[in-house]
Amino acid sequence: MAKKLHTNMVKRPKVRRLTCNNRIGHFWLFLAGCNDGFVKEKFMNVSLTPELERLVTQKVESGLYQSASEVIREGLRLLDDHDRMRELHLNEVRKKIETGLDQLDRGQGIPGDQAYAQMKRRSAESRKGKR
């Protein structure tokens, strides 16, 4: 027979809904983290435009999120993902630039007028494909 665990033996963060808002779009966010079984709480005052406040309220009222804090946390996670993708893209562009500069150093470049004509042709082809 399995032993029953007592709730005082389980380490878990306290769950409290501490989100409140007022007429000018301020939210108190409750952030909890569990480190070695101890809950660390941090409160943050965030000012939102009326449009963003409505968006947060709509998300909570839709039932997809339990609180405004959850909406803000999800938005921050998405922003973090977006920033990482942007950094990956910038690194790819930097590598291509470095490759091009290395090719120029080896004398593998093409004259400017040819490069310009090539870019113009590719641009026109791209515009044709979008129609």
DSSP sequence for 70-87? HHHHHHHHHHHHHHHHHH
pTM over 0.95: no
The sign one gets for the Cα dihedral 123, 125, 128, 129 is negative
Write out the residue range of the structural domain in which residue 15 sits. 10-108
pLDDT band for position 2 (50/70/90)? very low
Task: Determine, yes or no, domain membership for 94.
Answer: yes
Q: Is 46 in contact with 26 (CB distance < 8 Å)?
A: yes
Task: Determine, yes or no, domain membership for 25.
Answer: yes
pLDDT band for position 7 (50/70/90)? very low
Task: Determine, yes or no, domain membership for 2.
Answer: no
**CA–CA gap between residue 84 and residue 89 (Å, rounded):** 9
pLDDT band for position 131 (50/70/90)? low
pLDDT digit string (tens) for 15-70?
444 444 444 444 444 444 455 555 556 777 888 999 999 999 999 999 999 999 99
Closest CA to 17 of 64, 65, 83: 65
Task: Determine, yes or no, domain membership for 18.
Answer: yes
pLDDT digit string (tens) for 50-62?
999 999 999 999 9
Task: Determine, yes or no, domain membership for 129.
Answer: no
Counted domains in the chain: 1
Average pLDDT value for the chain? 78
